Amino acid sequence: MKISKVVDNLQAIMGTVSVLAEKYPRNRFAGGAGVAQAEKQIPWICRTLNEASDALNSGQDPFGNPITVAQVVSGLEQLVAYVRNASYGTLMEMVYPGIDKPLQKCMDKLERIIAKIM
């Protein structure tokens, strides 16, 4: 798959992920240290996807260092593994009821894109 098409697909997933917190509002009864961590997750996923897109376009990481396509793929695979972790899903569901299933669908799409990159 061409890099430009991969970047377009990553940007599309990022767009979908970015609105999930709005579609699945925070549980106002959720409390504790996990809430602050959960609130950072959607922006973190979006930032990771954006940085991967930028790296594929430029051949550089966010700090201007050279990066290979294999390194970008590895980072995206780590993102998928992290989001697929059962404890991650449980935390996100406690704070944003209903969000895990659509988030997992986004990871399904990301896995299909990753498979086509190399």
* pLDDT tens, position by position, 66-78: 999 999 999 999 9
Q: Tell me how many domains the chain contains.
A: 1
Confidence of residue 35 (pLDDT cuts 50, 70, 90): confident
- Give me the percent of the chain exceeding a pLDDT of 90: 81
CA distance 32 to 3: 42
| Global pTM value | 0.92
Is the pLDDT confidence value at 30 over 90?
Answer: no
Mean pLDDT of 3-15: 96
Question: Residue 12 pLDDT more than 80?
Answer: yes
Helix (H), strand (E) at residue 117:
helix 100-117
Structural domain including 40 reads 3-117
Name 66's bridge partners: 60
The predicted structure's pLDDT at residue 114 = 96
40, two tokens: 């950072």
